[in-house]
Amino acid sequence: MKKILVTGGAGFIGSHLCEYLLQKGFQVIALDNFNDFYDPTIKRANIQEIKGLIRERGLPQSIFQVVEDDIRNKQGMDQLFARENPDMLIHLAAMAGVRPSIADPDLYYDVNVTGTLSLLEACRKYGVGKFIFASSSSVYGNNEKVPFAESDFVDHPISPYAATKKAGELLCHTYHSLYGIDMACLRFFTVYGPRQRPDLAIHKFARLLATGQELPFYGDGSTQRDYTYIDDIIDGVYKSMLWVTAADNRFDVFNLGESQTITLEHMVKTLENTMGVKAKLKRLPMQPGDVLRTYADITKPRAVLGYNPSTDFKQGMDKFVQWFRQYNRSRL
């Protein structure tokens, strides 16, 4: 296995994964459409950081390429797969976010379901036999049993985004069953860290704190999230790659979380303490589609993958704020 195609390779998780794989000696193709869900210059800056790393390490330029295209473009995918013949596809590209999916369910279905099907078809046609799919903890909905285990019933999503991720998992299983493509579906739990998308809570709140604005604070602060640091997510993705390539006829679903919960109130207090700024809260009611808590049972990925997250929330927030200050020094 030498050549890895990463969809969404310019995004938050994707850019970190591309850097990691390049350091591991893989040839990497980052596929991204640089859409305007958030400022595309942020994603282009991520790509420049990757290229800077390549220069710093004296790696050949040919080890990394960027393809600007849309996963729904079947002709473009045909051309890309025929030309590059990747050994593995890691599918991170998606329209993300619960609330925006309620506002535009057609777009979320088109990108997350039709786009995933387009990639699976390309893998079938061009013989790409290893596939990693980025799913989401949102598939658990308001699961009453905690922590959430991969064997739990997940047929009660409460947002279009969650429904599209469950649909993606089902499509992956179908293509594994029919065509023998080896698969790992990874349910990410609230990922944070350097390069986090600006619309996500920690980054958004840090920006509002830094500029003296009110923080939108939904509910009473008791909602809980299993915040997972980006380095632990990347480690889990890599270990799932090793698992998928270790044998044939493999399909499974794995949680990638920190297996600890942080309340909204505690998250804000941690951010206040780390940044040295007192928050001004704008208290708002709970929003449709928001789950009350996410909490990963990681017994299975620990046993099967050797996944072992090691960054506690305070350490992760310290690293995030350090990056945030450096990144925004000329922007705030």
Whether 258 has a pLDDT exceeding 60, the answer reads yes
Query: Do 131 and 179 contact (CB within 8 A), yes or no?
Result: no
- Per residue in 55-86, pLDDT (tens digit) is 999 989 999 999 999 999 999 999 999 999 99
Backbone phi and psi for residue 261, each to the nearest 5 degrees, phi listed first: -110, 145
Whether 230 has a pLDDT exceeding 50, the answer reads yes
Domain containing 222: what range? 3-328
3-state helix/strand/coil string of the chain: CCEEEEECCCCHHHHHHHHHHHHCCCEEEEEECCCCCCCHHHHHHHHHHHHHHHHHCCCCHHHEEEEECCCCCHHHHHHHHHHHCCCEEEECCCCCCHHHHHHCHHHHHHHHHHHHHHHHHHHHHHCCCEEEEEEEHHHHCCCCCCCECCCCCCCCCCCHHHHHHHHHHHHHHHHHHHHCCEEEEEEECCEECCCCCCCCHHHHHHHHHHCCCEEEEECCCCCEECCEEHHHHHHHHHHHHHHHHHCCCCEEEEEECCCCCEEHHHHHHHHHHHHCCCCEEEEECCCCCCCCECCECCHHHHHHHCCCCCCCHHHHHHHHHHHHHHHHCCCC
pLDDT of residue 288: 86
Dihedral, 246, 251, 257, 261 alpha carbons, nearest 10: -150
Whole-prediction pTM value? 0.96
Whether 331 has a pLDDT exceeding 80, the answer reads no
pLDDT of residue 188: 98
More confident call, 291 vs 67: 67
Task: Give me the active site residues, please.
Answer: 161
Whether 192 has a pLDDT exceeding 70, the answer reads yes
* pLDDT > 90 fraction of the chain, expressed in percent and rounded: 94
- Per residue in 5-62, pLDDT (tens digit) is 999 999 999 999 999 999 999 999 999 999 999 999 999 999 999 999 999 999 899 9
pLDDT of residue 1: 56
Cβ neighbours of residue 284 closer than 8 Å, sequence gap 6 or more: 216, 217, 218, 219
The total of structural domains in the chain comes to 1
CATH number of the domain where residue 228 is located: 3.40.50.720
Whether 330 has a pLDDT exceeding 70, the answer reads no
pLDDT of residue 293: 92
